[in-house]
Structure 1
């Protein structure tokens, strides 16, 4: 910590950085702290909302295999030993606790929706089956068709959810008659059928909602429009997690570019909805290495049929005048700066260049990938790590 002391942590918390082992381990420690000391109960990740239910089942009930459900999220960047360690910690924390006191996992990204397609099956998914392999912005010419298919699926789910009372009543009466011979009450049977119908309805609604959001993202025009739509859907998914957890607290893991509060990002929308209860924490490092796919410059790079291999990318000490160099000069070790308490300091309100790497980097020029930022406008806090080492792939 720096001299300002520890920041007061609010009910929603966003944090991310690049694919570095130090960042992932720090986020693990931070989430554990938020759970134990502040009562947080939900971990929301920029990962498949469709496959996130399997991760939640693992951390709550031990269903499945940790490495397998992590792989199922579909994002190579999270398929690391560090993230698996976090899931194992969540599982250990939940063991023996009542459900109301457990921590849960939520995926918030509508991409990688294969689990939702599988939930409905090929016949019900219909035209939406193309979403399984589609990247954002791939099908703008099919927008009307795919949105209509998603709307029809959601409508069918709503109708099924609104009608089960009569059908469930008959089913429960039949079940009750059979159970009467075994001295079970009809009312108990009815309650069981109602609960089964409710759970099925919740699951159906979730997967239908994921497919509708995925259809919206893949049929947008490529570019800024896609990112804006995707961030909007991720913000809505966080809203749903906040409602589900009853206000206990949601920690959001996403890239710096999403959790910052400028523009129409995920973080900006959460700031609009929750005000100061949303705390955006950016992560930066001084020098070292991180993992990312190297792409050729130009819009075609990330869309090659054969994705470029994941490589270890190395950076020397931050250039003078950058945000990273400024933080290194202030305190050379790992430290957190609460920008809210320093809002009047010139460096907080000034413009600085900072690194912008993500899952992809330009093959030849990534060392110079920087963009201007005003720290106090973009974030509520910054966590600085002097040396980064690559995360450990599973």
Structure 2
């Protein structure tokens, strides 16, 4: 056994299964690692792995029940998530439709539905409730509808109606005038807050209290306009829609933290929760911004898997086809010294979590954490033939505070 493998093995927290309903006592060793943490990034190597949903459900229960966390913040539409938050607070609604309204096929699963129903059940009796929030500016239709219903100066909204039908990354960037119009709307709402409030009915949705006000709705519209008027690729990565998206998601997490005592669990891809960069190390990830603002108060947990299946769409002619449903994709186990998954499997072949942050480290471990290695990482779309040999570079010491390992993944189950 190498020094690195031995060090990992000494820090492994083995899991007593992935059943979200089971006791979470096996996660108790994480309490020390998460002491003083206000934001935990719960990553995932794929959006379509059932076991990641199950493990995150268990981790969320531990964070809420044992560590006092108050918000689940999803890589999902800020605008649409408000109605789902109302549902988990005890309000009316059909959870399947509310999950579908989040805008991402990735969350329309039985596993995510179980998370939502657990949150609603928890809130029936809990002295400290847990909220559901989106952090992604995409799919702002609910905010545009709210503003049309409640805003007196409706001509400000006319140029922005195109945003209801626009999808990020599909087609060419919109005219920059759209972002100018969205900024003008936000400036008006900010300057005339009390006047705008007179147009608004009491903050109720489906019988429960809503939390977004006029300025919050206008801010999300402005964020989305900024995304869809930027290129997806540029020689200067800071000018891309991806760079703006991660920056906005971090800002939206910070707004959730403005509530006294708030502690936030962020559910997103590994590429977003990492404290490093992505896209060839050129774009600061959401987690990078959160680390800069919160220091050790942010904890990035990456979720990896050894082998198995997951759901994702396939590229067609180099572009995602949103009309086609996601399909089953399968990858074998890897046995390479530069693959992090191989190291984790050697340290403990069963499902486990390992903290990389605290405690003494041998020189060999410091060297390992500081050099470039590779992990598997797939988004909502994968290359048609190349995905099995697609690996993402990582420097663990720069990118993650902890890792969770699932030995074998299976496909998430759509509803």
TM-score by length of 2: 0.81
Q: Secondary structure at the match of 1:393?
A: coil
Deviation, structure 1 residue 164: 7.5
Q: Which runs of 5+ in 2 are unaligned?
A: 1-7, 14-28, 278-283
The yes-or-no answer on 1:339 pairing with 2:356 is yes
The yes-or-no answer on 1:142 pairing with 2:142 is no
- The 1:393/1:273 distance shift into structure 2, 3 A limit, reads same
The yes-or-no answer on 1:364 pairing with 2:385 is yes
Q: Secondary structure at the match of 1:51?
A: helix
Distance, in Å, in 2 between the alignment partners of 1:201 and 1:367 is 43
Deviation, structure 1 residue 257: 0.4
The yes-or-no answer on 1:78 pairing with 2:141 is no
Summarize deviations over 1:294-342 as a string: whole Å, max 9, x none: 11363xx12x4x5333101011112322111111111100111111136
Which of structure 1's runs of 4+ aligned residues deviate more than 6 A?
193-196
Distance, in Å, in 2 between the alignment partners of 1:120 and 1:93 is 32
Deviation, structure 1 residue 228: 0.5
User: Which one has the largest radius of gyration?
Assistant: 1
Distance, in Å, in 1 between the alignment partners of 2:219 and 2:388 is 39
Distance, in Å, in 2 between the alignment partners of 1:376 and 1:113 is 36
Asked whether the equivalents of residues 82 and 210 of structure 2 are also in contact (C-alpha less than 8 Å), the reply is: no
Deviation, structure 1 residue 200: 9.1
Distance, in Å, in 2 between the alignment partners of 1:382 and 1:31 is 15
Deviation, structure 1 residue 90: 0.4
Q: Secondary structure at the match of 1:341?
A: coil
Segment of structure 1 superposing worse, 279-288 or 126-135: 126-135
The yes-or-no answer on 1:311 pairing with 2:327 is yes
Q: Which of 206, 223, 227 is matched with 2:216 structurally?
A: 206
Asked whether the equivalents of residues 136 and 218 of structure 1 are also in contact (C-alpha less than 8 Å), the reply is: yes
Aligned to 2:62: 33
Distance, in Å, in 1 between the alignment partners of 2:382 and 2:334 is 17
Deviation, structure 1 residue 277: 0.6
Summarize deviations over 1:329-375 as a string: whole Å, max 9, x none: 11100111111136551433332221121110001111011022111
Aligned to 1:106: 133
Aligned to 2:274: 260
- The 1:134/1:81 distance shift into structure 2, 3 A limit, reads same
Q: Which runs of 5+ in 1 are unaligned?
A: 169-192
- The 1:320/1:134 distance shift into structure 2, 3 A limit, reads same
Summarize deviations over 1:126-165 as a string: whole Å, max 9, x none: 111111222336564511x212221222233234423479
Q: Which of 237, 240, 245 is matched with 2:255 structurally?
A: 240
Asked whether the equivalents of residues 163 and 225 of structure 2 are also in contact (C-alpha less than 8 Å), the reply is: yes
Q: Secondary structure at the match of 2:139?
A: coil
Q: How does 1:216-235 map to 2 (within 5 A)?
A: 216-223=226-233, 224=237, 225-235=240-250
The yes-or-no answer on 1:277 pairing with 2:297 is yes
Distance, in Å, in 2 between the alignment partners of 1:297 and 1:2 is 44
Distance, in Å, in 2 between the alignment partners of 1:201 and 1:2 is 45
Q: Secondary structure at the match of 2:79?
A: coil
Segment of structure 1 superposing worse, 277-286 or 4-13: 4-13
Q: How does 1:372-383 map to 2 (within 5 A)?
A: 372-383=393-404
Asked whether the equivalents of residues 157 and 201 of structure 1 are also in contact (C-alpha less than 8 Å), the reply is: no
Asked whether the equivalents of residues 136 and 219 of structure 1 are also in contact (C-alpha less than 8 Å), the reply is: no
Deviation, structure 1 residue 194: 9.5
Deviation, structure 1 residue 96: 4.2
Asked whether the equivalents of residues 196 and 214 of structure 2 are also in contact (C-alpha less than 8 Å), the reply is: no
Aligned to 2:20: none
Q: Secondary structure at the match of 1:340?
A: coil
Segment of structure 1 superposing worse, 5-14 or 213-222: 5-14
How many positions carry a matched residue from both structures?
Answer: 359
TM-score by length of 1: 0.85
Segment of structure 1 superposing worse, 58-67 or 116-125: 116-125
Q: Which of 333, 337, 343 is matched with 1:326 structurally?
A: 343
